[in-house]
C-alpha cells in the first residue's frame, strides 16, 4: 500500500467508498456451540473457515467451541486472520485458534457485537444463540447465507425472509465453499 493509499484508507469519512474497498471483508460464521455441535456441522464449519481465509477475508466468530472453533481452525490452517468476540471478560476463554480476542464480559449480548462487526454472515446449524445473532444481522440487512442440511437454525431459515419487512432474504447453499462464494458475491452487489 502506498502512502497515498494509506491516507485514503485513514480517511475520516465513515462511509468513504474508497476506504471500504480497501478494507478486508469480515465474514461472521455462527452456529452450534460445543455443547451440541454435530460432527457434520464441525466439518462444514472447518471448510467454511478455510474458504474465508483462502479468499482473503477476516473470519469473525463468537470465539468459543463447536462451529466457532471449527471455523477458526480452518481459517488458521490457511493462515487467515481470526477474530473471536467472546461473551466472557477474560481472553483465556477463547478457543486457541483466535488471533484476536475481544472479551466483552456481556454474556449473550455480545451477539449484537458479532453481528454488527460482520459484512456478511454464514450460518452452520445452530440453536437459540445463533437465532439471535442471525436476527440482529437481518435487522441490519447484512447478507446471510445458511448452509442447508447442517441442521438447526440454518435449516429453518434457509431461503426465507425472517419477517414481513423482507429486509434481506436468507440465501442458502449446500456446500461450504459455495456458501462463502455466495456471501462474498452478495457483498460485491451491495
4 has pLDDT over 60: no
SS3 sequence, 87-109? CCCCHHHCCCCCCEEEECCCHHH
Residue 29 pairs in a beta bridge with 122
**Tens-place pLDDT, residues 15-53:** 555 555 678 999 999 999 999 999 999 999 999 999 999
Cα 151 → chain centroid: 17
List of domains in the chain: 26-176 (3.40.50.450)
93 has pLDDT over 50: yes
**Tens-place pLDDT, residues 127-174:** 999 999 999 999 999 999 999 999 999 999 999 999 999 999 999 999
Nearest to 149 by CA among 117, 123, 180, 113: 123
pLDDT on residue 7? 43
pLDDT on residue 188? 86
* Residues 40/147, Cβ–Cβ less than 8 Å: no
Long-range contacts (CB closer than 8 Å, 24 or more residues apart) made by 107-112:
108/132, 110/62, 110/85, 110/86, 111/62, 111/136, 112/136
Q: To which H or E segment does residue 124 belong? A: strand 120-124
pLDDT on residue 22? 75
Nearest-angstrom CA–CA distance, 104 and 114: 11
Amino acid at each position: 500500500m502506498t502512502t497515498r493509499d494509506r491516507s485514503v484508507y485513514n480517511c475520516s469519512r465513515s462511509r468513504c467508498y474508497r476506504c471500504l474497498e480497501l478494507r478486508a471483508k469480515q465474514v461472521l460464521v455462527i452456529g452450534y456451540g460445543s455443547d451440541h455441535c454435530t460432527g457434520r456441522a464441525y466439518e462444514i464449519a472447518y471448510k467454511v473457515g478455510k474458504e474465508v481465509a483462502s479468499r482473503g477475508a477476516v473470519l469473525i466468530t463468537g470465539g468459543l467451541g463447536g462451529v466457532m472453533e471449527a471455523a477458526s481452525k480452518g481459517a488458521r490452517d490457511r493462515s487467515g486472520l481470526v477474530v473471536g468476540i467472546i461473551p466472557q471478560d477474560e481472553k483465556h476463554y477463547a478457543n486457541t485458534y483466535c488471533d484476536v480476542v475481544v472479551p466483552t464480559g456481556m454474556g449473550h449480548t455480545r451477539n449484537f457485537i458479532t453481528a454488527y462487526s460482520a459484512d456478511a454472515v454464514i450460518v452452520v446449524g445452530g440453536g437459540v444463540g445463533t437465532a439471535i445473532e442471525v436476527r440482529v444481522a437481518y435487522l441490519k440487512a447484512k447478507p446471510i447465507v445458511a448452509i442447508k442440511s447442517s441442521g438447526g437454525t440454518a435449516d429453518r431459515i434457509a431461503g426465507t425472509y425472517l419477517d414481513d419487512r423482507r429486509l434481506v432474504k436468507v440465501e442458502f447453499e449446500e456446500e461450504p465453499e459455495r456458501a462463502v462464494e455466495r456471501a462474498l458475491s452478495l457483498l460485491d452487489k451491495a
